[in-house]
Structure 1
Amino acid sequence: MGIVLRQGLRNTVISYIGLALGFVNTAFVVPRFLAAHELGLTSTLLAIATIYAQLSALGFASVGIKFFPYFRNREAGHQGFLPLLLGVPLLGFGVVSLLYLSGKPLVLNFYEKDQALISSYYGWVGVLALFVMLYSLQDAYLKGLYHTAFSSFVQEILLRVLQAGAAVLYGLGYLSFHGYVLAYIGTMSGIALLLTVYLGVIGELHIRPKREVLQVQPLRSILSFGAFALLANISATVIMNIDTLMVGSQLNLAAAGVYSIAFFISTALTLPARSLNKIAFPLLADYWKEQALPRMADFYRDTTRLNTVLGSYLALGIGLNLDFIYGLMHNPALTAGTTAVLVLLVARLFDGITGLNGLIVVTSPRYRYDLLFNVSLALTTIGLNAVLIPRLGLLGAAVAFLLAIVTINFARTWFVWHSYRMQPFTWRIPLILGIAAVAGGAAWLLPALPSPLLTMLLRSTVLTVLYAGLILLTNSAPEATGFLQKLSRRFTK
């Protein structure tokens, strides 16, 4: 756990700084300068570009993580692995781009109410998709090298600073809305180029092709895994983006903007898991290579417990203070997403509690089964959104997301247990959830004060004191107990 904790801590610090910057963007900057339909446009463009990039990458981001341990040899330039990692997806990008451009009329038909606005930026989505793809491939390569902090920094911090700057320039009149959209695309593209520079600085930009790359692992095996990873990844991407796309097409871009804010607020719960997963993915690949299943099982339980402790606290902290959070936005139209946030928080919490099941399956010898889970789930998600959004609006999209997350995690958790007799739960998990219920209930029962700020501070203080105190008293999270005890000794000294 040593390297995981060190890298995970760095990524967690960076992620939470990024969260703070993202909150400033979302609560203070973007809603003050952009209308709901403008928020919806940028969210829609990014969602389309993300799916576009996943299709083009042909699953090679996952290939980079799974197969890199076999190629790792810095003196030999990792056997020419990076040119292979980038070259095949670039060919895929060319093919997908032809299909995307020829399918423009079909795509625009889904956005009848905002067709002209989407059409104005249709071509720019291809540029954005290219750099989203390049970022994901280089990020996967850096994960294999156990260099994850810089990629986290540029995505979580630098990107948000640049996006905030673009919004301020738009709000002050220095940029037109068209200029703002291009700046938004430019910031996303810039972080991919920065990763390329970083690889050069650390001496890992080995771009010269080598024949040895075809001898380390059979190319057929790599391409086969990539094909399965493509279908698995695109299914996961559909699950994460289809709600925004379908809200925009079935309602309008303004509704998509409201939903995108609600979706962002709920992402605070993903940060602990995301930070650990960045380093956990290549570590699990190494465990499978070494057949170290007992160590993997311990890691599975430990990370699940940590995610439960942090996720429960964050879910309560956000849910109890939604009125305060939305009040800071000074945009009454956005409060329509409040109920959707609560549903999304439940989904995120369940996803964290069920642990690393998805990463274990996709790095295991039986990775092909994850394809069945993801494809079935993606189709179900699309169907749920099609049924629920017209009836429930934004709430329908959130409920569809919740059902999708619960379904896939139940399936994956059962599969890991059935196949490898590993499961992430101990008696401490229900104990932590019970503590969270007690602490959250006590904070919720507090009367509202005249000042929203004071109400937020009171509820947060009671929640934190009760939650941390009960966690320590029951020793339900040994890692957290040890950390808090060390912190206490330092302050005492």
Structure 2
Amino acid sequence: MGIVQRQGLRNTVISYLGLALGFVNTAFVLPHLLAPEKLGLTTLLVSIATVYAQFAAFGFASVGIRFFPYFRSRETGHQGFLPLLLALPMLGFLLVTLFYGLGRPLLLAQYAPADAALLGPYYWWGSVLALFTLLYSLQDAYLKGLYHTAFSGFLQDIVLRLLIVGLALLYGRGYLSFHEFVLGYVGLYGIILLLLTLYVSYIGELHLRPTRAALRVRPVGEIVRFGGFALLSSLSGSILGFIDSWMVGAQLSLAAAGVYGIAYNISTALTIPARSLNKIAFPLLAQFWKDQDMAKMADFYRSTTRLNTVLGCYLALGIGLNLDFIYSLIKNPVYATGTTAVLLLAGRLFDGITGVNGLIVVTSPRYRFDLIFNLSLAGFTVLMNWLLIPRFGLTGSALATLLAIVGINAARTWFVWYSYRLQPFDRRIPLILGIAAASGLLAGLVPFVHSHLLTMLLRSAGLTILYAALILGTNAAPEATAYLQKLRNKV
């Protein structure tokens, strides 16, 4: 757990700084400067680029992490692994771009005429954004294999968000038109891609010369087959993350997609602990499978689940207790209609509580079974959005996300236990959940006091003191207690 704690701590610090910046963007800057339909447009472009890039990558971001342990050899430039990692996705990008162009009339026809007119001029800029996203994700996967995970998170969570704030302020003060703002928004992704490439070069790992040795380390057919399964598996995750904004925009409006995007961003805090740990968990699990070290994998599975549960519950309670304060900072009352959606999206906490089950399946010899889970998840998500959005609006889409997350994680957790007798729970998990429930109930008894700010401070202070005291006092999370003891010894 040493490398996990070091890298996880760095990633967590970066992620929470990014969360603060994202909150500033979400609560102050973007809603104040952009009308909901314009904010919905930028959200839609990012959604399109993400799925577009995943089709083009053909699962090679996962390939980069899964197979890198077999290529690792700095003296030989990792046997030409990086050129191999980039080659097929670039061909895939050309192919997907062809279909993207042919599908333009069909995609625009899904939106109301006013929304289609707003999206139309920026349609091809979605392709440029997809290229930047593709190259960034491939280099990020390469760095994960090298156990260099912090700088990529720093660029994406902090640098990009600072640049977006600066760009939005220029637009708000009239220095940029909205058209220039959108083009600048796309360009910012190109900037962080360039910075990441310079970093790879700086650490001496930018090995771009192809070698024949890369084709002999592992059978190419095996790598391509894994990439195909990883593609279909990762697409379901993108569908879960982005199909709701697509379908809200198409079935309701781009303005509604903008409101939903704010609610989704607020709930993103719940994913930070798991996301921070998963950056280093993926390559470690791949190494455990290579070494057939099931004892370490079992210990890692339980330890990360405890950490994700402790942090995730605390964040979920913090959001739920202070939701009125969060929305009071957003001056545009239109955005407040997403309050219920935030509460339902708190179901993303379940993803952290069930641990790294998905990564264990993807890196295991039975990785093909993850395809079944993910295709089922994708179909279920689309179906539930289609049924629930017309009836419940934004709340319906959030409910569809909740049901999908709980369903896929329950299935994966059972499969890992059935196949490998690995499960993430011990007696401490019910204890942590009980502590969270008791702390939340007691902190929720604090009444509204004069202002949303003062109420937030009192509730947050009460929650933090109660929760921390009970977690540490009962030793519900030994990892947190051990880390605190290390800090005390250093002091």
Interval containing the TM-score (normalised by the shorter chain) = over 0.9
Query: Over aligned residue pairs, what C-alpha RMSD do you find?
Result: 1.0
Where do residues 57-456 of structure 1 align in structure 2 (5 Å cutoff)?
57-113=57-113, 114-345=115-346, 347-456=347-456
1:318-364 superposed Cα distances (whole Å, 9 cap, x missing partner): 1100111111111111000001101101x211110000000000000
Cα deviation for residue 484 of structure 1 reads 3.2
User: Structure 1 counterpart of 2:208, which letter?
Assistant: I
Alpha-carbon distance in structure 1 between the residues aligned to 2:178 and 2:299: 51
The corresponding residue for 1:18 is 18
SS at match of 1:255: helix
Alpha-carbon distance in structure 2 between the residues aligned to 1:247 and 1:16: 28
Cα deviation for residue 234 of structure 1 reads 1.1
The corresponding residue for 1:36 is 36
Alpha-carbon distance in structure 1 between the residues aligned to 2:313 and 2:234: 27
Alpha-carbon distance in structure 1 between the residues aligned to 2:404 and 2:195: 35
User: Structure 1 counterpart of 2:9, which letter?
Assistant: L
SS at match of 1:482: helix
SS at match of 2:67: helix
1:156-184 superposed Cα distances (whole Å, 9 cap, x missing partner): 10000000011000000001001111111
Cα deviation for residue 485 of structure 1 reads 4.1
SS at match of 1:317: helix
User: Structure 2 counterpart of 1:273, which letter?
Assistant: A
Alpha-carbon distance in structure 1 between the residues aligned to 2:406 and 2:142: 30
Cα deviation for residue 487 of structure 1 reads 4.4
Cα deviation for residue 238 of structure 1 reads 1.0
Cα deviation for residue 479 of structure 1 reads 1.5
Alpha-carbon distance in structure 2 between the residues aligned to 1:241 and 1:293: 35
SS at match of 1:425: coil
Cα deviation for residue 486 of structure 1 reads 4.5
Q: Taking every aligned residue pair, what percent have the same amino acid on both sides? A: 68
User: Structure 1 counterpart of 2:66, which letter?
Assistant: K
Alpha-carbon distance in structure 2 between the residues aligned to 1:486 and 1:151: 27
Cα deviation for residue 474 of structure 1 reads 1.2
Cα deviation for residue 89 of structure 1 reads 0.1
- Which deviates further from its counterpart, 295-304 or 24-33? 24-33
Alpha-carbon distance in structure 1 between the residues aligned to 2:9 and 2:471: 20
1:56-96 superposed Cα distances (whole Å, 9 cap, x missing partner): 00000000000011001111111111011011000000000
Alpha-carbon distance in structure 2 between the residues aligned to 1:473 and 1:211: 58
Cα deviation for residue 302 of structure 1 reads 0.2
User: Structure 2 counterpart of 1:397, which letter?
Assistant: S
1:290-314 superposed Cα distances (whole Å, 9 cap, x missing partner): 0001100000000000000000001
SS at match of 1:365: coil
SS at match of 2:190: helix
Alpha-carbon distance in structure 1 between the residues aligned to 2:222 and 2:487: 49
Cα deviation for residue 489 of structure 1 reads 6.3
Alpha-carbon distance in structure 2 between the residues aligned to 1:286 and 1:488: 33
User: Structure 2 counterpart of 1:298, which letter?
Assistant: D
Alpha-carbon distance in structure 2 between the residues aligned to 1:314 and 1:150: 24
User: Structure 2 counterpart of 1:255, which letter?
Assistant: A
Alpha-carbon distance in structure 1 between the residues aligned to 2:277 and 2:237: 19
1:22-56 superposed Cα distances (whole Å, 9 cap, x missing partner): 11111111111111111100001110111101000
User: Structure 2 counterpart of 1:300, which letter?
Assistant: Y
The corresponding residue for 1:4 is 4
1:362-381 superposed Cα distances (whole Å, 9 cap, x missing partner): 00000000000001110110
- Which deviates further from its counterpart, 479-488 or 297-306? 479-488
The corresponding residue for 1:459 is 459
User: Structure 2 counterpart of 1:15, which letter?
Assistant: S
- Which deviates further from its counterpart, 227-236 or 383-392? 227-236
Alpha-carbon distance in structure 1 between the residues aligned to 2:137 and 2:52: 13
Alpha-carbon distance in structure 2 between the residues aligned to 1:76 and 1:28: 50
Alpha-carbon distance in structure 1 between the residues aligned to 2:33 and 2:447: 34
User: Structure 1 counterpart of 2:353, which letter?
Assistant: I
Across the two proteins, how many residue pairs are aligned to each other? 490
Alpha-carbon distance in structure 2 between the residues aligned to 1:203 and 1:154: 19
Gaps of 5+ in 2: none
1:400-455 superposed Cα distances (whole Å, 9 cap, x missing partner): 00000000000000000000000000111011011111110011111110111110
User: Structure 1 counterpart of 2:18, which letter?
Assistant: G
User: Structure 2 counterpart of 1:379, which letter?
Assistant: G
1:164-222 superposed Cα distances (whole Å, 9 cap, x missing partner): 01100000000100111111111112211211111111111100110111111110000
Cα deviation for residue 481 of structure 1 reads 2.0
Change in 2 beyond 3 A, CA 1:402/1:453: same
Gaps of 5+ in 1: none
